[in-house]
Structure 1
């Protein structure tokens, strides 16, 4: 405290003031506590092992610490830490804000200052010095609040850490496949984190844009596990109007995939589809920079992971293309796919491929010559459709219209 006026108070007066205030510290603390109980009846006061409110000790320590500062050479009073950090910690652990606690502190300081002013008047301390004393008291209040904020922040961080641990445990349980009835088996865990078990879920998997990336700001009931190498997201009631789009907006800048909506017990299946989609993203076969919905990429998810099997089938189904050059083979394959997909005329095929109808007719005659009557077999056409679409997805049917 910068106290030029207070420094002018004769030392005997200062000592007399301090002695009087210290002599009354216990009774003043009790008076303040009584007023706090009257004004804040809902405030829960923790008791020590002797049944005394811990607040009483804290109030008395704060009074004595401030008064002893007045007769010392220190520039600022020492704020008692432990008790006031405990007060803040208690508010955090009980899910309350610090607003009420700060109001309690302000009441205590006003009552203490009222009594200090009376003592100062009794021993004839000059008014300017007492005004400085009042200012110092409210500065001291800031220190008490600061200690409580530290305790509060510690408690909230500890609670959040525990909640995240329980949340990860719940996610692990839901995705383990070990529970035929997760709503019952994992009910205690979900209750502890206040998460209502949904009927349906979708599971997402994210790819970190950077190691230090800020977690997506998802809605409160969406579970997020950031501890995994690829963060996992569990979305309840994913078919709720607009929810999937909100998730994707919240995860702007992230890559990843959201699996299909499934009953809660089948959450592992949704995760598997999300894993498959993420693998395609990492292989450059699905776009990066946003969170994809698996149901928007059904064809890719079915055909691309099966490329080895499809390529083996292609050796048989596309064997006739071995008799023509690579460029012509790609053109004929693209035309064959367009013919199977459209079942249309040469004009329809030409429109799809961006070529002249006469060119389409010429290629169709080549195709018929190469495959013959096997083109009339619906099973073979279906197999060809799968093979050729797989090739198109992998960029192997790039059309050369020259």
Structure 2
């Protein structure tokens, strides 16, 4: 029986392998990962229906991360290579198997297939790089020792899921999440007590993620430290720390095919702010104002969120700063503000602005004279000029918001 490893025991052993192997192996990893997943799909019937779902996403990520970590251990054999990623993924695979009601036989078979495919590739490239039989022998030992470690970590996750089934603990985790979002400062004693009972380490930062009702989630595909409440009218999750690429991949695997938005990473006491920003970003993404894939990150759209945070205030600023344009017709006003915004953004010549707007430079000069007549004094003041630029950007974004039908949302 495979030995269960205690947390953190996937250490980087001293691999008596030449470091020159790492740059030889690394270019092979992308195609090797695809070949391994293809072979697993072909040879394990139990995975036929799940290989394209949340389990398949985690499995594919595990293959990629497992290969990369192995090569990193060759390149830096004394513990400098990060190992938390592959540890978490292996445990997650074990938990998914437990939740799906399967034994570990299929997962262990998948690891064996991965090892066999990887070894065939090594045998194929060895002659090209004149790898000696001694190096290949040590490499074989390293590969299959590493696979044993990964299987043991998966067994850990499987055993944990069997020992701690969902139910009462899920309710306590939702309560912890609610306390954090409601008022983590005022609820500090309760949060500390509940977190300790759940063995959930209170992080220095949290990122809140918003989605819409009716999502189908594979909880076992989530990292163990993620808190979630997907049953309410405004479902959301809490991720300890910032939204890394690995966390994004995790969210896509656990909640495939749905739009999500992640707020900023903040101290736990600011969790409500992160959730508020996430929900605003989700709304803008569904309206087509933000286009950033299935997981929108607020940190990539801060100016847009700021400019659209108070549309009534934007209207007030527009009425104050652009009052001198009120005498114009709607069409004239639109053309003048379009030219003014282009000038404020580019500070280009008439020819450059004309190229940007697809109009003749002489038309630009005419419009700029109208702008000078109407707003000349205001544009000389830096603070007022900044206000005008901000309000024009906000008005442009607001037009994109209102262009979508109310309630028109993407899946």
Supply the distance in 2 between the matched residues of 1:212 and 1:244 (Cα, whole angstroms): 16
Report 1 or 2 for greater relative contact order, CA contacts < 8 Å, sequence distance ≥ 6. 2
Q: Is the contact made by 1:198 and 1:236 (CA closer than 8 Å) also made in structure 2?
A: yes
Equivalent residue in structure 2 for 1:206, among 211, 220, 228: 211
Paired position in structure 2 for 1:380: 384
Aligned residues: 245
Paired position in structure 2 for 1:236: 240
Paired position in structure 2 for 1:296: 300
Supply the distance in 2 between the matched residues of 1:218 and 1:352 (Cα, whole angstroms): 46
Equivalent residue in structure 2 for 1:336, among 340, 347, 350: 340
Deviations 1:220-273 (A, max 9, x none): 222221222222110112254543354345433212311101122322221121
Post-superposition offset of 1:157: 11
Q: SS where residue 216 of structure 2 aligns? A: coil
Deviations 1:9-51 (A, max 9, x none): xxxxxxxxxxxxxxxxxxxxxxxxxxxxxxxxxxxxxxxxxxx
Q: Is the contact made by 1:206 and 1:230 (CA closer than 8 Å) also made in structure 2?
A: yes
- Where structure 2 has 5 or more consecutive residues not aligned to the other structure, the ranges are 1-97, 104-160, 403-411
Q: Is the contact made by 1:179 and 1:265 (CA closer than 8 Å) also made in structure 2?
A: yes
1:193 aligns with 2:198: yes
Paired position in structure 2 for 1:166: 172
Supply the distance in 1 between the matched residues of 2:171 and 2:288 (Cα, whole angstroms): 34
Q: Is the contact made by 1:330 and 1:397 (CA closer than 8 Å) also made in structure 2?
A: no
Q: SS where residue 359 of structure 2 aligns? A: coil
Q: Is the contact made by 1:331 and 1:397 (CA closer than 8 Å) also made in structure 2?
A: no
Q: Which structure has the bigger radius of gyration? A: 1
Post-superposition offset of 1:287: 5.1
Paired position in structure 2 for 1:317: 321
Question: In 2 relative to 1, CA 185–252 (structure 1 residues): closer, same or farther, beyond 3 Å?
Answer: same
Backbone CA RMSD of aligned residues: 3.3
Matches within 5 A, 1:236-315: 236-240=240-244, 242-248=246-252, 250-281=254-285, 285-286=289-290, 290-315=294-319
Paired position in structure 2 for 1:83: none
Post-superposition offset of 1:365: 1.5
Post-superposition offset of 1:345: 1.9
Post-superposition offset of 1:362: 2.0
When normalised by structure 1's length, the TM-score is: 0.54
Post-superposition offset of 1:369: 1.7
